[in-house]
Structure formats: C-alpha cells, structure tokens
C-alpha cells in the first residue's frame, strides 16, 4: 500500500519542531570560537547530543557522533509510515562497514572502532556475512563487489581498489532502489550527489595526472553528467571544461573552486560547494508543510551537521586555526 502525503502530517510537524536544535551558523561560530575542545563539545549539549547522563571526553567525540546518527535514523523511522524511503540513505554506511571489515581482514587489524551502527545490516550479521563469504543474504551488487575486491586486492595489494570497487557497487544498489521507490525528491537528491562525486573524482584525477582509464574506473553511473562528457573534456584545462557543464548547472560551481590556486584548498572548496548544492536542494523542503520531503531533508541536514561537527572537533583537537576550519564548513540547513 502506498501512503499519501497527508499520512505524514504528524511526522512532518514533529520533525519541524526538531529543526530548532539543528546546528545553526551562530552555534558553529560558538564552536569555532571555543578556546578548548571541551568548550566546543559543550555546544552540542545545547543540541541534545548524547544521553545527557554522562560527560563525554573530546577524545570520544566520534562515538558521540555515531550515536547521534543512529538516534536520528531511529527517530525518523519510528515516525514514518514507510521505512523503505529512508533505508537507501544508509547504504553508504553498509558499504563503509564492508570496506572496514575487509581492510581489517587484509591488514590483520581490528575494524571495531570504525564500524557504524546506523546501517541497514546489523553489524554482527554483516561481520559474519563478510568473513564467511556468505553472499546469499547480500544484494547482488554487494556480493559481486566483495568478490571483485578479493580478486583485485589479491593481485595488486592496492587498498585503493577496495574503495573504488565498493563505491561503485554501493551506488548500483542505491540506483536500483531509488528506481523502485519512484520518488522524484529522493531521486533528485542522489542525482546531485552522484554528479558531485564524479566531478570531484574528475578534478582529482586530472590534478594527479591520471589517464582517462583511471577516471573511468571511479566514475559512478546515475548522475546527470554522462561519462562521455568527462572523457571528451579530459585533456582540456578545467576552465575550458567548465563550459561543458553549463547545461547541468555545475559550471559556476567548478569555476568558483578552480579560482583557488592552492591544490589542497581547491579540493576543499569543491567538496564544500558540492555539499552546499545538496543542502540547498533539501532546504526547499522547509516550505513543504507535510509529506516525505521534510523527513528526508532532516536526515540529510543531520548528516551534514555531523560532518561539520567532525571537521570542527578534529581541527580543535589538532590545534587548527578557526579561519582554516571555517573555509571547510558548508552551508547549514537552518
């Protein structure tokens, strides 16, 4: 049975009441201006991070972020009439866990601290599936991806193949799922996300002087920009290639990033601008009173917020100046 937008009346109203606890520009500035990591972490208390019953050390902030991610997903799915629309957003976490388990196995280390609880496949189950090579209970894309990783890594011992192969498998699963969901808002989000991933891979490949075939290996299907557009402009200067992106609405984004001469800052700028593209897209849901859009947008907003907190806390722990951290932080939802 397919649910109507009105079935989301209560869920939408509840989620909108939670938006006041999202990380605002003012709270970001408060975190950036904090003298110590402890002070920065206290800002999160105002946003109801953690259980509130125990003090969290700055060294444990990743645990806090993992808990917040899981808490957000559980809240969304407890409110929503249908879970299937939200599970697809956790596929990257499933694949992150697969990567972590395989890398730990190959390098004979532990993956425990790297695993993410907010996933569609319970960690204990996934651990058994991966280690025992039990492909029967996996998607076709995941099982084929793992088998390809085992073969490629065995031949090359290059850890990069793990990420490349499984990233493509992940988005095969995502594209298959969103085609079944038939929700234009969710589909539009992932199209933008894939275009951003491919654009970042394209710029990075060119800056590293990699050949065309390297980019083809990392290119992900499902975006608006076809692979042939990237390949036909591969030998052009980025400023010239940007003209090819006019019809996809990405020209200005690329030009803004390449105006920065420092390569590291160029990548940081491009990452931030791609994140802004996604946040600006889901922010449109703020004007929709009820339906699936406010719930999806809140999930994306929390994902972006957690990324921002990670940037700030990691920087604070390492003593990175606030000005440099500010350059890496994308737009906020609120």
pTM reported for the whole predicted model: 0.92
The pLDDT value given to residue 52: 58
287-309 mean pLDDT: 92
The pLDDT value given to residue 59: 83
Q: Comparing C-alpha atoms, which of 58, 157, 81, 73 is closest to residue 119?
A: 73
CB contact set of 319 (below 8 Å; sequence gap of 6+): none
pLDDT digits (tens, 9 = 90+) for 157-167: 999 999 999 99
CB 252 within 8 A of CB 201: no
How does DSSP assign 28-42, residue by residue?
A: HHHHHT-SSHHHHHH
Q: How far is CA 149 from CA 98, 160, 324, in A?
A: 11, 10, 36
pLDDT digits (tens, 9 = 90+) for 224-239: 999 999 999 999 999 9
242: exposed, middle or buried (C-beta count within 10 Å: 0-12, 13-18, 19+)?
buried
Q: Which two tokens stand for residue 230?
A: 């990237």
259-274 mean pLDDT: 80
- Domain borders along the chain are 5-87+184-328
CB atoms within 10 A of CB 269: 19
pLDDT digits (tens, 9 = 90+) for 60-96: 888 889 889 999 999 999 998 888 899 999 999 999 9
Q: Which two tokens stand for residue 205?
A: 């490949």
* pLDDT > 90 fraction of the chain, expressed in percent and rounded: 68
The pLDDT value given to residue 58: 83
Rg of the chain on CA atoms, in Å: 20
Q: Which two tokens stand for residue 1?
A: 């049975």
The pLDDT value given to residue 50: 75
pLDDT digits (tens, 9 = 90+) for 112-123: 888 998 899 999
């Amino acid at each position: 049975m397919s649910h109507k937008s009105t079935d989301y009346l209560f869920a939408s109203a509840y989620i909108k009441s939670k938006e006041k606890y999202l990380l605002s520009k003012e709270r970001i500035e408060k975190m950036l201006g904090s003298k110590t990591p402890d002070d920065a972490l206290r800002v999160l208390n105002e946003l109801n991070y953690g259980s509130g019953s125990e003090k969290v050390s700055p060294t444990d902030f990743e645990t806090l972020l993992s808990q917040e991610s899981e808490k957000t997903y559980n809240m969304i799915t407890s409110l929503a009439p249908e879970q299937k629309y939200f599970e697809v957003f956790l596929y990257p976490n499933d694949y992150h866990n697969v990567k972590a388990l395989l890398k730990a196995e190959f390098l004979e280390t532990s993956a425990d601290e790297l695993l993410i609880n907010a996933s569609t496949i319970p960690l204990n189950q996934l651990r058994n599936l991966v280690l025992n090579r039990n492909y029967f209970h996996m998607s076709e894309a995941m099982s084929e991806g793992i088998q390809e990783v085992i073969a490629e890594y065995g031949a090359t011992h290059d850890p990069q193949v793990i990420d490349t192969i499984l990233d493509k498998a992940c988005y095969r699963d995502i594209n298959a799922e969103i085609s079944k969901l038939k929700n234009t808002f969710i589909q539009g989000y992932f199209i933008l996300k894939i275009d951003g991933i491919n654009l970042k891979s394209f710029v990075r490949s060119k800056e590293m002087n990699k050949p065309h075939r390297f980019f083809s290996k990392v290119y992900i299907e499902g975006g608006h920009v076809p692979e042939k557009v990237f390949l036909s402009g591969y030998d052009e200067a980025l400023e010239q290639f940007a003209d090819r992106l006019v019809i996809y609405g990405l020209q200005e984004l690329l030009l803004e990033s390449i105006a920065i001469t420092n390569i590291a800052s160029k990548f940081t700028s491009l990452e931030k601008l791609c994140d802004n593209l996604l946040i600006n897209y889901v922010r449109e849901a703020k004007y929709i009173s009820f339906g699936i859009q406010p719930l999806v947008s809140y999930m994306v907003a929390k994902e972006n917020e957690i990324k921002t907190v990670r940037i700030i806390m990691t920087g604070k722990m390492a003593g990175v100046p606030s000005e440099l951290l500010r350059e890496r932080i994308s737009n906020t939802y609120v």
